[in-house]
Structure 1
Amino acid sequence: MGKGFSAISAVDHLGRIARKYPDKLAISDGDLRLTYRALTEAVTRLALLIAAAVPAGQSVGLLLGNCGWYPVAMLAGMAAGRVSVPLNPRDPPRRILDIARDAGLPAIIGLGADGFAAWPERPDLRWIDVAGALHAGDPQPAATLPDAVSVDAPAVVLYTSGSTGRPKGIVNSQRSLLQRVQQYVDAAHINSEDVFLPLSGAATIAGCREVLTALLVGATLHLADVEAVGLRAIRRQFRSCGVTIVYLVPALLRALMTASDDDDFGSLRVVRIGGEKILWTDIALVRKVVSRSCFIQISYSSTETTGSHWFVPVDYPELAACVPAGYLLPGISFAVVDDDGAPVRSGQSGELLIKSMHVTLGYWENGQIVPMTTDRDDPRQRVFSTGDLVQLDERGLLQIVGRKDRQIKINGRRVEPAELEIVLRRARQARDAVAVVTAASELVAFVVPEETAGPDLGPALRDIVRRALPPSLHPTRLHLVAEIPRLAGGKVDTARLRDLDQAMRGTAEPAERADAGTPLNLEQAVEVTWKRILGRADVAGRWDEAGGDSLKLLQCVMEIETLLGRELDLEAFTTDMTAADMIAAVADGQDASPGADRQTGAPPVLFMLPGSVGYGPSLAAFGAGMGRVARVTPIRYPDLVAILDGRGTIAAMTEAALRQINLAQPRGDVRLLGYSLGGAVAFEVAARLLAAGRPVKFLGILDTNVGGAAHHLREAVARTVQRIGAHRVSVYRTACRSVAKAAARLGWERHLAGLLEREWLKHLPDTRFLLRLELEEVLRMRAMGDWLALSKSCLPIKGTLFRCNRPGVPFDLGWGRLFADVDVIAIAGGHLDLVVEPHLAVNRPLVEGAVAATYA
């Protein structure tokens, strides 16, 4: 990367990359896709909006999580010269509000227009909907970007667990972040051909590093929320995206890569592991599922500073249970000292001190920096006492021995037990509380209840913790005890507490993993998996009471899916559920239906591709009524923001549909039903699936005419008359549609979209909604017209056309030339009311019968 890399701002580096690779895919998260040209445009526009909303010298919150808008917002903050404060959307609202207060945030960037509802205690806290704001027209005239932003100024504040009982903000400059990027790129030879899938939280130093590394070399960055999509979907994404570089913590590694028989990870060339201690069994697990040419990189660092890394040789001797943390990185000076600050002898343990100009600038308190200690001889060099007890072996490798304090890392996140203790002690029925860290790096809480405490105190305390603290601070086990054992001097006897935890935990040896071919009913599958994941002899109590966290829950759901042979809805599973709750969640909705899975009773999936208006109430009611024959899954098209970014074509809708289909149903027969414009998208989806060797069992077309342009005017007039005559639309909506059509015809669609975000129009929500809806529909229908003009190949399958009464048009509506065979079924009503009563009573059984016929 060159010696001067960290002296040039990230936005300048991004501009250079965008000029080199303007049309290359930069970011994808399943919904949002940005080329490098589109990324730089979005960064600039959002930077202007931030500059207008956040006064100079103040910070802006990023409540975005692992989505494509997060890197846009972080880079925009740097371009605007404002400090970014990444926030974790999965943290409790109370904690997010505490951080907002501590950071002095005047504004938070998030997704959706209803963010204000989350902040009743802070009416002054401005909410910026990033997706909507970028298409709100030109920002305020007074908003300008600074000519230059110093790479040594505060850039990102990352909040971690604090020993005082409150989150602690750690300030990093661009220079310190770019130094991490440079070390990473130079070590792993990262380049524009790489594909990243970082499985780290956005509000962590690892999340910042992975995002910047990918985008500042011209690579492609894929982002996914593991807890939202599940482990199985993540494994599929490795294969479908051709991921070459991944970062993950050991706990996630074990959950993701265990029992991986498929070639999910064959494209990987670098697996970077960090965040907590790494076992040699973790290395063996990775080597089992990646190619022989894949490198395993171990890293040690903290939010305050970089530390060490190395690539683990295949034949390196396993001298201890844990893998060495690597060689200390260039660009830092270090010392290993004893309790008096004197250097220890070679081979002895001591605390690691690091001195570098890339160490954190300091800590963020009330919107201000509390600077780090600097070197007496060179004020540019800052000194950080890591708190880690280490030793260097004879090869110069760093070995982590322990901590001077009680701090640990859980799933890559820093945890201070004091935060948990303070929350528990504040509980009304708790007299005292202590949290200890076990040898297995588990956080265990002990609570002395008041005499008046009831039998439900344990679950009540867990609920208090859940509302106040992030998941990393939730105790693995919570014990109620008569007193806290103490030493003669009054200090807590942590050794006795650890022994007490072993005696009270009631665990057993983990059960053997059930084979996917073993015949198990639903209850058996849940119970066997519950016991194995938690290492228990029973399934008593709640998941969190039994030592389960959200990551173990994901692993449990994935194994149940494997045993039952079907995928489950992740939203139905929570850490406070019992085994009975889990059984009920798995059983929900699995009534027997034609063509259902013999073991689970779940009906096959029917993917519904809606018309130009999208999946509205009428289609939703239609789909819900087909529940016994098929599980109707709607496909979402790119929205107005994406359409204006050039992703409003039928090809783009097809890409979006394929991503959703592959995530929802990665294998097996596919069934499609397209209405109006959706018929065109369904046809293209089927063509792509067939070309990839995927069987399309059913392709239904709901009244889509591809028979020729001569009929379009007549159809348009007929539909307008039908709309008004049936009272389906008002005159006012017809007027809004006329405005949208005029804007599209004149090429002013961007101007109209910008107008919709003007402040004065926000006071007319109905008008704004109707104009946006009609503009989306008009632009999608324009894409349909473009598609009709293209030549198409005939598909070697049968199509099923459900045809309304259309005088003067071909009987097969033009589909006869596009399928090997077409089955035309006459249905009641017209194009606009075929899925509503009274015609629905006639039409739905016809569709159900055609779909059910494919199950034989």
Structure 2
Amino acid sequence: MLGEHTVIELFQQQAARWPDRPALVGDGGRLTYAELDRATARVAQVLVAEGAATDEPVAVLAARGTQQLVALLGVLRSGAPYVCLDVEQPQGRLAAQLADSGARILLADRPQPEFTGTALRIGDLPRAPAADLPRPAPADLSCLVYTSGSTGAPKGVAVTHGGLANYARHVVSLLDCADERRSFASVTSLATDLGNTAVFPALLSGGCVHLVPSEVVLDPVSFARYARTHALDYLKITPSHLAAFLSFPDTDVLPRQALILGGEALPWELVDLVRARGRCRIINHYGPTETTIGSLTYEVGAAEAARRPGATVPVGHPIRATEIRVVDARLTPVPDGTTGELLISGAGLARGYWRAPEQTGERFVTLDDGTRAYRTGDRVRRLEDGSVEFIERLDQQLKIRGHRVEPAEIEAALRLHPEVARAAVTPVRDGMGQQVLAAFVVPASPAAPNVRDLRVHMSELLPQHMVPSSVEVLPALPFTLSGKLDRRALARRVGGAAPAGRG
């Protein structure tokens, strides 16, 4: 039914089939499929006239809402890949991402005097002559998604049209929602790939995507009211975000059809809370940005909930056109039940890291049989039913509220402060059992830096979820006998144990 078209072509098919159906709801109003089709076509025509081209990113900087998604879809329709910039991030970080992307065209909802390329206001686009729009190939880039980088700077993951379409087609099949008039809730930033689980499957199936306003997303009572008013069918959310919602008694935030959880390990206790509140399907979802949003899924039925394979809910089985391997340090497959690193290959594999061939070569490897695969850095094992259980990270990478966090990037930001000589960041558990960040710095002079100044400094360089909850000044950092930084000793200073893990 969905063939091998790109997501923008599949959206156009739905627009021709259901022109009067609602397609998009958000700050800025409601658009039908026909209205969204016309709006994105206009953006695409302007971009083509301005020189938008295959594999040349177009940047989008706009507040969460209908204009933002119209701009993103318009970029895809022009044949260029988009790079979505989150307006909530510090200006310095946005400038770094914009420069790294090399974008010559910027679509924005506000003036950007610092940008030296072609800046276009989304709500005031010029008229452009009608022209045939290009048809992207599966290998062409659809978007750049920036994630925290282990080298101290964000890195852009180059996602292809083929990978994005493969993922969206799988979700439509998984949810069995093709041609159904369903409502999908998007509650995360479109600058990350978490939100795409709602956006593209909705528009490929004749459903309606709700870009839930930020102030509603943060308040369980407001979100429950929104969910009830708009009869939301599907919700993709991180376990920690859902747990915060469910901590409010008698607040019904669950969707009518299916709850998709991802971005972090899913505790069985949270599954129990969901089952006590509602009857929706519960689907665990796993996948690094490098393999396009999601690569494995696991639906928790009554039997699985009773049997509870693994310490947390398994991350599941591969999606369509995806292959996984569990390997040792030499990339040799290990027997089922034995732990090893998870490798992912197949249609969702990203092209690599944008303008970073060395980093690409480290993580995207070619195996002995010629298969190209991504080294996830996740230690896992296969269970008896063939599903995969996540165990821990093999490096220092963390997940904080569903966001990938490299402590090295935070440490690099701290070292930019003139009063900091050395820095270390490690995860700890707060009083609610949630994973948070703690920072430790060694001063560059006898006078200790002001902790408040350090927090302001980090807030100017890092998104809020990467700013540590605590900062402590030490005369020196602790090291183990083997000469490695002793992160567990640091964690004990704030009464926690340094946990590893992501889902």
- TM normalised by structure 1 equals 0.54
Q: How does 1:80-91 map to 2 (within 5 A)?
A: 80-91=78-89
Q: Is the 8 A contact 2:380 2:388 kept in 1?
A: yes
Question: Residues 56 and 263 from structure 1, CA distance in 2 versus in 1: closer, same or farther, beyond 3 angstroms?
Answer: closer
Tell me the SS of whatever aligns to 1:206: coil
- Distance in 2 (CA, whole Å) between partners of 1:12 and 1:312 is 33
What CA distance in whole angstroms lies between the structure 2 residues aligned with 1:323 and 1:202? 26
Check 1:129–1:360 CA distance in 2 against 1; reply closer, same or farther (3 A cut). Answer: same
1:302 and 2:288 are equivalent in the alignment: yes
Quote the Cα distance in structure 2 between the aligned partners of 1:489 and 1:154. Answer: 44
Alignment partner, residue 44 of structure 1: 41
Corresponding residue number in structure 1 for 2:501: none
Distance 2:284 2:333 in 1: 26
**In the TM superposition, what are the counterparts of 1:628-667 in structure 2 within 5 Å?**
none
Match of 1:412 among 395, 398, 402: 402
Matches within 5 A, 1:342-421: 342-365=332-355, 372-374=364-366, 382-421=372-411
Matched residue type, 1:63: L
1:128 and 2:120 equivalent? Answer: yes
- % identity of equivalent residues: 28
Tell me, in whole angstroms, the C-alpha distance in 2 between the residues paired with 1:429 and 1:206.
37
Residue of structure 2 in register with 1:214 after alignment: 202
Task: Report how far residue 427 of structure 1 moved.
Answer: 1.0
Structure 1 counterpart SS, 2:494: helix
Contact persistence 2:297–2:318 (CA under 8 A)? yes
TM superposition shift of 1:228: 6.6
Aligned AA for 1:21? W
Shift of 1:442: 2.6
| 1:83–1:155 contact (8 Å) kept in structure 2 | yes
> Structure 1 residues 229, 390: CA separation in 2 closer, same or farther (over 3 Å shift)?
closer
Equivalent in 116, 137, 156 of residue 112 of structure 2: 116
**Counterparts of 1:367 and 1:34, CA distance in 2:** 41
CA distance 1:19–1:181, change in 2 (3 Å): same
Q: Give the equivalent residue in structure 2 for 1:493.
A: 486
1:21 corresponds in structure 2 to 18
- Which amino acid counterpart does residue 286 of structure 2 have in structure 1? Y
- What is the 5 A alignment of 1:153-168? 153-168=140-155
Displacement of 1:368 in angstroms is 13
Count of paired positions: 485
Correspondence 1:446 to 2:436: no
> What secondary structure does 2:186 align onto?
coil
- Residue aligned with 1:41, SS: helix
Structure 2 counterpart of 1:242, from 211, 227, 231: 231
| Cα displacement (A) at 1:61 | 0.9
Q: Contact 1:328–1:398 (CA<8 Å) still a contact in 2?
A: no
Task: Pick which of 18-27 and 325-334 moved more.
Answer: 325-334
Q: Residues of 1 paired with 2:83 and 2:496: CA distance?
A: 43
Structure 1 window deviating more from structure 2 (82-91 vs 439-448): it is 439-448
**Aligned equivalents of 1:201 and 1:31: distance in 2?**
16
Secondary structure of the structure 2 residue equivalent to 1:468: coil
**CA deviation profile, 1:2-52 (whole Å, cap 9, x unmatched):** 5x3xx2122221221111111111101143211100111011100011222
| Number of the residue aligned with 1:97 | 95
Amino acid at match of 2:387: L
Secondary structure of residue in 2 paired with 1:179? helix
Pick aligned residue for 2:59 from 58, 61, 70: 61
1:207-286 alignment runs, 5 A limit: 207-227=195-215, 230-231=218-219, 232-265=221-254, 268-286=256-274
SS of the residue 1:204 aligns to:
coil
In the alignment, residue 479 of structure 2 is paired with which amino acid?
A: R
Which residue number in structure 1 is paired with residue 161 of structure 2? 174
State whether residues 102 and 366 of structure 1, in contact with CA within 8 Å, keep that contact through their aligned partners in structure 2.
no
Match of 1:481 in 2: 474
- CA distance in 2: counterparts of 1:22 and 1:147, whole angstroms: 23
Deviation, 1:504, is 12
Distance 2:451 2:497 in 1: 14
- Measure, in 2, the Cα distance between the counterparts of 1:129 and 1:354: 40
Deviations 1:538-590 (A, max 9, x none): xxxxxxxxxxxxxxxxxxxxxxxxxxxxxxxxxxxxxxxxxxxxxxxxxxxxx
| Contact residue 103 and residue 367 of structure 1 kept, 8 A | no
- The secondary structure found in structure 2 opposite 1:491 is coil
Counterpart of 1:407 in structure 2: which amino acid?
A: Q
Higher strand share: 2
The structure that has the greater radius of gyration is 1
Task: Give the letter aligned to residue 161 of structure 2.
Answer: Q
- C-alpha deviations, 1:141-160, integer Å up to 9, x for none? 4x744442212201111000
* Aligned residue in 2 for 1:11: 8
Residue 96 of structure 1: how far off its partner (Å) = 0.4
**Structure 2 SS opposite 1:502:** coil
Q: What residue identity is the alignment partner of 1:424? A: L
Paired residues of 1:51 and 1:145 also in contact (CA < 8 A) = no
Q: 1:107 aligns with which of 87, 105, 108?
A: 105
Q: Give the aligned partner of residue 30 of structure 2.
A: 33
Rate the CA distance shift 1:358–1:204 in 2: closer, same or farther, 3 A.
same
Q: Is the 8 A contact 1:171 1:364 kept in 2?
A: yes
Q: CA, structure 1 residues 48+205, in 2 after alignment: closer, same or farther (shift >3 Å)?
A: same
Select which of 74, 77, 81 maps to 2:75.
77
2:224, 2:252 within 8 Å by CA — same for their partners in 1? no
Give 1:276 deviation, angstroms. Answer: 0.8
Residue 260 of structure 1: how far off its partner (Å): 3.8
SS of 2:284's partner is strand
Cα offset for 1:429? 1.2
1:190 to 145, 165, 177: 177
Contact conserved, 1:444 with 1:478, CA < 8 A, in 2?
A: yes
Post-superposition shift, 1:208? 2.5
8 A Cα contact 1:83 1:156, kept in partner: yes
Structure with more of its chain in helix, by fraction: 1
Partner of 1:547: none
Equivalent residue, structure 1, for 2:321: 331
Counterpart amino acid of residue 87 in structure 1: L
Aligned partner of 1:92: which letter? P
- The residue matched to 1:310 in structure 2 has which SS? strand
Structure 1 residue ranges without an equivalent (≥5): 506-856
Shift in alpha-carbon separation, 1:14–1:330, aligned structure 2, 3 A: closer
Aligned partner of 2:418 in structure 1 is 428
Question: Hey, what's the Cα distance between the residues in 2 that align with 1:390 and 1:176?
Answer: 23
For 1:319 and 1:19, the matched residues in 2 are separated by: 45
In structure 2, the CA distance between the partners of 1:108 and 1:257, relative to structure 1 (3 Å rule), is farther
Q: Distance in 2 between matches of 1:411 and 1:150?
A: 34
Q: Which has the higher contact order (CA 8 A, sep 6+)?
A: 2
| Structure 1 residues 128 and 11: CA distance shift in structure 2, 3 A | same
- The structural deviation recorded for 1:500 is 1.9
| RMSD of Structure 2 on Structure 1 (CA) | 2.5
* Residue aligned with 1:73, SS: helix
Compute the displacement of 1:376 (Å). Answer: 6.6
Which digits, 9 at most, give the CA deviation of each residue in 1:797-832, with x for residues without a partner? xxxxxxxxxxxxxxxxxxxxxxxxxxxxxxxxxxxx
Task: Flag the 1:100–1:146 CA change in 2: closer, same or farther, 3 A.
Answer: same
Contact preservation (8 Å) 1:357, 1:382: no
Deviations 1:688-727 (A, max 9, x none): xxxxxxxxxxxxxxxxxxxxxxxxxxxxxxxxxxxxxxxx
Q: Which amino acid aligns with 1:27?
A: L
What's the offset of the Cα at 1:340?
2.3
* 8 Å contact from structure 2 (residues 166, 347) kept in 1: no
Matches within 5 A, 1:416-815: 416-438=406-428, 441-454=435-448, 457-502=450-495
How has the CA–CA distance of structure 1 residues 384 and 229 changed in structure 2, closer, same or farther, with 3 Å as cutoff?
closer
In structure 2, distance between residues paired with 1:50 and 1:68: 18
